[in-house]
Amino acid sequence: MESPAINDLNICIATENGTGSASANNILFKAIFKMGIPCSSKNMFPSNIQGLPTWYQVRACADGYMGRKDVIDVMVMFNDATAAKDIYRVRDGGLIIYDDSTPLSPNLKRDGVQYLGVPANKLIQKIVPASPLRTKQRNMIYVGALAYLFGINMETIKEVLEDTFGKKPAVIESNLICIEAGYNYMKDKGFTQTMARLVAIPNGNKGKIITDGNTTCALGAIFGGVAIVSWYPITPSSSLAEAMEYYFPRLRKTKEGKATYAIVQAEDEISAASMVLGAGWAGARAMTSTSGPGLSLMNESIGLAYFAEMPGVFFIIQRGGPSTGLPTRTQQADIQLMYYASHGDTRHIILIPHDMKSSFDFSRRSFDLAERFQTPVFVMMDLDLGMNLWSSDPLVLVKEPFDRGKLVTAEQLEQWEKQGKKFRRYFDADGDGIPYRTIPGNMHRHAAYFTRGSGHDSDAHYSEDEKDYKETLDRLRRKFETARKYVPEPIIETADGAKTGVICFGSSYEPVREARDRLRLSGVKTDHLLLRALPLTEEVREFVAAHDRVYLVEQNRDGQMAAIFKEEWPELGAKIGSVLIYDGLPVTAGEIVRQIKAHEANLRERVGEWRERKLIASV
Amino acid sequence: MAGEKVNRISLTEKDYQGAPTTMCRGCGHDAISASVIRAFFESSVDPRKVIKLSGIGCSSKTPAYFISQSFGFNAVHGRMSAVATGANLANHTLISIGVSGDGDTAAIGLGNFCHMMRRNVNITYIVENNGVYGLTKGQFSATADKGSVMKGGKVNDMPAIDLAELAIVMGATYVARSFSGDRKQLAPLIQGALAHKGSAILDVISPCVTFNNHEGSTKSLKYVKEHLDPIHDVDFIPPYENIEVDYEEGTDQDVELHDGSRIILHKLERL
């Protein structure tokens, strides 16, 4: 018999939503984390409050890969509605844990897997009196069962319970009893498995934190000096604004208890975006957070902010589209809607975090960029980054002063006038496309100007003159070119002599890292570029140019990012192959490897055909 | 100019003017701009502390035609109320005046307008109401009265939205209806709105002389004048602090009044 894998285990828990499984799953995940084992979790939940299927994957991975794994070792089958499919989600040789309070129906039996029954319903009836709590605590039984089977220390679980329910000893106690019931049942029955063991690593996760990207974005924005937040509830972005509601009173009140911020739940996304514009124009750092449908509604306001040059930060937590699509699943399919948001010729700055630290950091920096460029700036997130729990190194605050860009005060205007210089709101004095800006409340008599989304000249006067109009459009493009030097540069990793490049961004980073290691083991060496912003920069062009072929991994059907690359550098277009993952689930390394290998085989075949044709021709 | 009347902050009424108007000759909107200028002058508002906001449409162009020393913001169609909310949150010391039309407020921006009032945003919000889409050449708006006739003869069969009524229902804390041509009434109403803290809504009937000034229209100059029934003589008395003095018998006291003028009081000695 093979010896068990150490700290390498992928558990999938199938439950019904609204049954309290989220608490049980979090306790399980945090216990493994507390043992010091590298681990990650993915929540695949429905757009519903109660009664629809939900899956939660916990992955322990000694090698430290955090991406979702498609090969499932253990299936906790606690949802009858999906059981018939769930039994085939688990790998051959895997394990199925099910509630055997009633006998397993014959159609739920399959060969090649081990079944372990735990009578959760029966056990819970003995412990918890009939109440809504009973359903919720039933899920704690499988936590106990898994703890026994794979070696999660009960002391660790107790610590997690204390962390979670610190102020409610009764809740800690009642949950612990249920977990112990599952644990003891397995123990008494003498159940075992031989596939994997979880072994604590002392100080393994020392200093690490567990958080989600919506929280880190919220914190980044607060440390980035945001003062006005306007938002409208929409999954998966609501928890970002809610995190701000939580942290604002803790972090942004004066000693006298006065709020130095305002957060408004708007009547719709159009209003939310408009409030951001009003606040940004009036001099405050302002933001909103939304998802695809909200972004669609905000397009007109974003166009105004672009054309009339007002700062504002738009956090877009992408979900499955189009239309309502899959509100609780992940996608990167709003790239072009962000990049070209609004009618007319527009292009926007987009920051693309790929983990917790960068989402905190980029969130903070986005406000500097918005003010420097006097334009909407997007922070492109997705549900996987925003809502799943990630283990991370601690967030680091870069204590640079805020860059408020070319903001002119009354005193500066006074100086200017002494030097014979005039304030011209939309005049490109420096040749970088960025004009100077005043804000309302500036008491200089020549500070005021008129902001409008209609045609205007360099002095902010209404103009339909063709020269003025074209000049404005050209200057805005020039400003966008300047932005290339300001956005976060890509991160490049090279392997000696690799001719193949891989480019990815956002939540694809972790699975791509794993996929590249697997490809290397199978003889395919790859260099990697992590794209962290739009507009594209020279480093990216050089990377594509330096490789025979480049695989661009993105989470949409149409290769939206690849299209931006090809528009930018048509001459390099033929080198770019797309790896497209768009089933709404977090990306897996397995799928990336499969697609890249298919591309490579295809290439070999085509080269073969070409050689053959050449041969025939020469004959 | 010597002898020209100045207000408490030493500005003349001319200092409140804006760029030359581009409205049609005789447009009610220009008359409203003149009332705005009068009101800001009379109330001695510092133009540098004012923000002028508007949406899209003929009316929304007008903030460019008054108080050019103030910042202006011509927003997206229907969204001025939300933009104003954001600007107010960013800097509540600014004095906001919003100008909108009946298309901007009663149709595309109706939801945002209601929520602005619900939040009681501090703003003087003027609807220049002419019952017609002027900038797109003469379509009915949502405030056109049922039965009124379009320039081409089409009859409106939809009931009108009464914006003053709506403002009251939404809890606006200052609501008035006036007529563009009645400066004596409108200017003090605007002064009152400026002094009011919260959403002050002024529904001002403002005839469109080009697209809605014909027989059968209920918002033509003729029709409005015939049906004008001012129910109050409106005037504005600024809510100043009470001036109190306390001084010795037999001494003089110099008192500065709210309009900047001074009086010298002498208290007689008791015999």
Predicted structure pTM score: 0.95
Residue B188 has pLDDT above 60, yes or no: yes
pLDDT level of residue A2 (50, 70, 90 thresholds): low
Q: State the pairing for strand pair A533-534/A349-351.
A: antiparallel
Nearest to A508 by CA among A549, A541, A552: A552
Same domain, A23 and A161: yes
User: What residues in chain B have their Cβ under 8 A from chain A's Cβ atoms?
Assistant: 19, 47-49, 51, 53, 63-64, 68-76, 79, 82-91, 93-94, 111-112, 114-115, 119
Indicate the pairing of strand A39-44 with strand A53-61. antiparallel
Where is the domain boundary, A392, A424, A447?
A: A392
Tokens 């690849």, located at residue: A562
CATH code of the domain in which A150 resides: 3.40.920.10
In chain A, what is the straight-line distance between the N-terminal and C-terminal CA atoms, in Å?
A: 58
* A243 and A262 assigned to the same domain: yes
* Any domain includes A399: no
Q: What are the chain B neighbours of A272 within 8 Å (beta carbons)?
A: 82
Give CATH for domain B13-227: 3.40.50.970
Q: Which two tokens stand for residue A390?
A: 């990630």
The answer to whether position A612 is within a domain reads no
Q: Which helix (H) or strand (E) holds B266?
A: strand B262-266
A183 and A290 assigned to the same domain? no
Minimum-distance CB partner of B86 among A277, A441, A447? A277
- My answer on whether A328 and A294 are in the same domain is yes
Q: Which residues contact A540 (CB under 8 A, 6 or more apart)?
A: A490, A503, A529, A531, A565
Q: Do A368 and A513 reside in the same domain of the chain?
A: no
Residue A200 CB-half CA count within 13 A: 15
- Residue A322: CB atoms within 10 A of its CB come to 11
Do residues A422 and A499 both lie within one domain? no
Residues A40 and A180 both lie in one domain: yes
Do A449 and B115 make contact, defined as CB atoms within 8 angstroms? Answer: no
Cβ within 8 Å, pair B74-A450: yes
Instruction: Assess A299–B contact: CB distance below 8 Å, yes or no.
Output: no
So what's the ipTM on this one?
0.93
A162-177 residues labelled b (16+ CB within 10 A) or e (exposed): eeebeeeeebbebbbe
- List of residues 6+ apart from B21 with CB closer than 8 A: B27, B30, B33, B62, B65
Q: Alpha-carbon dihedral of residues B103, B104, B105, B111, nearest 10 degrees?
A: 110
Cross-chain residue pair A267–B88, CB shorter than 8 Å: no
Range of the domain at A151: 5-206
Tokens of B127: 């609807």
- Tell me if residue A293 falls in helix, strand or coil: helix
Within this chain, do residues A219 and A199 fall inside the same structural domain, yes or no? no
The burial of A600, by beta-carbon neighbours within 10 Å (0-12 exposed, 13-18 middle, 19 or more buried), is given as middle
Amino acid at A218: A
Report pLDDT digits (tens) over A129-188: 888 788 888 999 999 999 999 999 999 999 999 999 988 999 999 999 999 999 999 999
Q: pLDDT, tens digit, for every residue of A270-313?
A: 999 999 999 999 999 999 999 999 999 999 999 999 999 999 99
Query: Which residues 540-579 of chain A have a CB within 8 Å of chain B?
Result: none
The residue from A206, A234, A267 where one domain ends is: A206
Indicate the SS3 state at residue A53.
strand
Separation between Cα atoms, residue B266 and residue B251, nearest integer Å:
6
Question: Do A263 and A192 sit in the same domain of this protein?
Answer: no
* pLDDT (tens digit per residue) in A412-423: 999 999 999 999
Cα separation of B58 and B211, whole Å? Answer: 12
Q: How far is CA A439 from the centre of its chain?
A: 34
Q: What's the total number of domains in chain A?
A: 4
- Which residue, of A206, A237, A269, is where some domain finishes? A206
State pLDDT tens for residues A432-452.
Answer: 999 999 999 999 999 999 999
H runs (alpha helix) in A310-408: 335-339, 356-373, 383-387
The answer on A223 and A196 residing in a single domain is no
In chain A, % helix, strand, coil (3-state, to 5) comes to 45, 20, 35
Q: Find the Cα–Cα–Cα–Cα dihedral A408, A409, A411, A415, rounded to 10°.
A: 10
Provide the β-strand partners of residue A16: A53
Query: SS3 for B185?
Result: helix
B52-73 residue pLDDT tens:
999 999 999 999 999 999 999 9
A615 falls within a domain: no
CA distance A292 to A325: 9
A580 within some domain: yes
- Predicted pLDDT at A1: 52
Alpha-carbon separation of residue A595 from A387, A418, A494, A516, A579 (angstroms): 27, 65, 21, 12, 6
Query: Model confidence over A459-495: pLDDT tens digits?
Result: 999 999 999 999 999 999 999 999 999 999 999 999 9
Which CATH number goes with the domain that contains A549? 3.40.50.920
Give the pair of three-digit tokens for residue A387: 């809502």
Q: Is residue A40 part of a domain?
A: yes
**Which of B76, B111, B114 is closest, CB to CB, to A301?**
B76
A244 and A282 together in one domain: yes
The answer to the question of residue A600 being in a domain is yes
Residue A270 lies in a domain: yes
